[in-house]
């Protein structure tokens, strides 16, 4: 029987970014799932603070070169890759000069979120999906980590819903304690409709703040995981009321096995026609 394929899409992965709860999971979980018999691919943004020389990133020419149109503007997609040798694992990086060359991740020196974080999230979501298509690698399960990936479930279910590469993919969203204040660009809904996404499907982000971005991700996911022990109360209640399969926060010692079992549960429900 062919190995199940799991696509990991993470906002943070160590050693490329500092160690956090999310970046450590982003590093160790794919390796653990690979060791448990599944095939994996892993993606993250190529934030400008990542040292390319130290981490031995290099561009994958055959995957780069596509232009993605966001808000009626072309943005070239650049794909880079690096290897974590001890894990026998590659990490693909989504890059673009307009969005990911600044020497910070999502906020500036004074802690203010970048005004174009909405477009950066759109570019990242579409960049991952288009690269996976070029790889001709159809994932059985997609696991998203971090609010920056919160548009991916929407795109899978609405933009790529009839694409053979993703038609049968199940989506799990991990929710962390990573709340930001303020809103993303109020034109986010308008920008998404450029990709023929119906405004009715995205009414929850009429006010595009952290809570509503996570609600949007929940609306289009097939399973949820609480990646932190302390997450936003409103988001937690929304997740619990969604009726989706939900895995509570796990300890550092148990989470890889627990996640693996949860993946199998989601995938078996598809096989048994429960989805």
The yes-or-no verdict on residue 99 having pLDDT over 60 is yes
> At how many degrees (to 10) do helices 255-271 and 21-35 cross?
60
- What is d(CA 218, CA 21) in angstroms, rounded to the nearest whole number? 21
Which pLDDT does position 109 carry in this prediction?
Answer: 86
The yes-or-no verdict on residue 105 having pLDDT over 80 is yes
Cβ atoms of residues 107 and 114 within 8 Å: yes
Mean pLDDT on 27-43: 98
Distances in Å between the alpha carbon of 2 and those of 26, 39, 69?
A: 24, 9, 36
Which pLDDT does position 273 carry in this prediction?
Answer: 58
Which pLDDT does position 271 carry in this prediction?
Answer: 59
Mean pLDDT on 79-92: 95
The yes-or-no verdict on residue 95 having pLDDT over 90 is yes
Mean pLDDT on 167-171: 96
- What is d(CA 268, CA 38) in angstroms, rounded to the nearest whole number? 14
Which pLDDT does position 22 carry in this prediction?
Answer: 98
Q: pLDDT tens-digit profile of 215-234?
A: 999 999 999 999 999 999 99
Mean pLDDT on 179-208: 95
Mean pLDDT on 195-224: 97
- What is d(CA 225, CA 246) in angstroms, rounded to the nearest whole number? 6
Place of tokens 């096989």: 271
The yes-or-no verdict on residue 85 having pLDDT over 70 is yes
Per-residue pLDDT band at 269 (split at 50, 70, 90): confident
Q: pLDDT tens-digit profile of 238-266?
A: 999 999 999 999 999 999 999 999 999 99
Which of 51, 59, 21, 47 has the alpha carbon at shortest distance from 174? 21
Helices (H), the chain: 21-35, 52-55, 97-100, 117-135, 152-154, 188-193, 210-219, 233-241, 255-271
Q: What is the mean pLDDT of the chain?
A: 95
The yes-or-no verdict on residue 18 having pLDDT over 80 is yes
Mean pLDDT on 54-68: 96
Which pLDDT does position 266 carry in this prediction?
Answer: 97
Domains, the chain, in order of start with CATH, read: 5-271 (3.40.50.2000)
The yes-or-no verdict on residue 124 having pLDDT over 90 is yes
Q: Is the pTM of this model over 0.85?
A: yes
Under DSSP, the state recorded for 105 is: S
Distances in Å between the alpha carbon of 160 and those of 97, 157, 192, 208, 275?
A: 25, 6, 13, 22, 18
């Amino acid at each position: 029987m062919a190995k199940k394929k799991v696509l990991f899409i993470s906002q943070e992965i160590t050693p490329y970014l500092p160690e956090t709860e999310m970046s450590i999971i982003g590093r160790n979980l794919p390796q653990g799932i690979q060791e448990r018999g599944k095939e994996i691919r892993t993606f993250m943004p190529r934030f400008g603070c990542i040292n390319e020389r130290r981490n031995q990133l290099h561009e994958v020419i055959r995957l780069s070169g596509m232009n993605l149109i966001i808000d009626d503007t072309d943005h070239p997609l650049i794909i880079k890759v690096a290897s974590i040798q001890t894990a026998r694992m590659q990490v693909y990086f989504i890059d673009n000069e307009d969005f990911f060359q600044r020497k910070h991740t999502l906020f500036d020196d004074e802690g203010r979120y970048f005004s174009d974080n909405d477009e950066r999230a759109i570019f990242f979501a579409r960049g991952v999906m288009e690269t996976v298509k070029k790889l001709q690698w159809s994932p059985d399960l997609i696991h998203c980590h971090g609010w920056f990936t919160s548009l991916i479930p929407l795109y899978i279910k609405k933009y790529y819903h009839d694409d053979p590469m993703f038609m049968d993919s199940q989506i799990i969203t991990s929710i962390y304690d990573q709340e930001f204040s303020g809103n993303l660009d109020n034109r986010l809904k308008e920008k998404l409709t450029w990709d023929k996404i119906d405004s009715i499907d995205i009414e929850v982000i009429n006010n595009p703040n952290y809570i509503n971005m996570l609600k949007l991700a929940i609306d289009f996911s097939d399973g949820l995981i609480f990646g932190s022990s302390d997450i936003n109360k409103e988001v937690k209640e929304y997740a619990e009321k969604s009726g989706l399969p939900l895995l509570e926060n796990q300890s550092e010692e148990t989470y890889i096995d627990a996640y693996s079992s949860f993946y199998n549960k989601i995938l078996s429900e598809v096989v048994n026609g429960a989805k």
